[in-house]
Amino acid sequence: MSTPILLVVIIGSVLGVALLVFAIARGRGKGAGASGGLCPGCRRAMRPEWPRCMFCGWMPVARLEFVLGPLTGQVIELRDDVTTVGSVVGNSIVLADPAVSRKHAGIRRMDGGYELADLGSTNGIYVNGHRLPKKNLAPGDVIRVGNSECVFRPQ
Ligand SMILES: [Zn+2]
């Protein structure tokens, strides 16, 4: 009578320990794979909720991946405070396209994000198929300017 109960207790504790080990291993794996990790600027530990490093001010640089139009295949980093898109020289990104206005759109870098704005273009800007005057960009947003399309990648 006492043997089966002892067996249940042993099996129960073995299973409990196994679950605990599994949970710890999972937790460690997640920690190592998180984008938080170390700051590429000063190599100190960065918390995932920080939009920029509290020690040296390093911030992840977003990119635009062009998937349609004359710049297809190119990746442009949004390093400046303002990145402008237009058809004439003097813009950060020049799109030789009759559907693009001379000064078409701008992307402003703010604490913790990027804002896309129409700079009074003729044909407008489209984000995920909707014509918008302004948009706080989200990961994977597809921006259309004239006959070009690019995907917003925050890191
Ligand atoms: Zn840093």
Q: What residues contact residue 69 under an 8 Å CB cut-off, 6+ apart?
A: 95, 97, 146, 147, 148, 149
Centre of ligand 1 to C-alpha 31, Å, is: 18
* CA of 45 relative to ligand 1 center, distance in Å: 8
Instruction: Give per-residue pLDDT as tens, 48-83.
Output: 888 789 999 888 889 999 999 999 999 999 999 999
Q: Which of 89, 116, 115, 114 is nearest to 103 (CA)?
A: 89
- Are 58 and 150 in contact by the 8 Å Cβ rule? The answer is no
Residue 70 CA to ligand 1 center (angstroms) comes to: 36
Ligand 1 centroid, distance to 43 Cα (angstroms) = 6
Give which of 122, 119, 114 is closest to 150, Cα–Cα: 114
Banded model confidence at residue 29, pLDDT cuts 50, 70, 90: very low
Centroid of ligand 1 to alpha carbon of 141 (angstroms) = 28
Distance, CA of 155 to CA of 153 (rounded, Å): 6
Q: What's the pLDDT tens digit per position in 93-110?
A: 999 999 999 999 999 998
Buried b / exposed e across 7-26, counting CB within 10 Å, b at 16+? Answer: eeeeeeeeeeeeeeeeeeee
3-state secondary structure of 91: strand
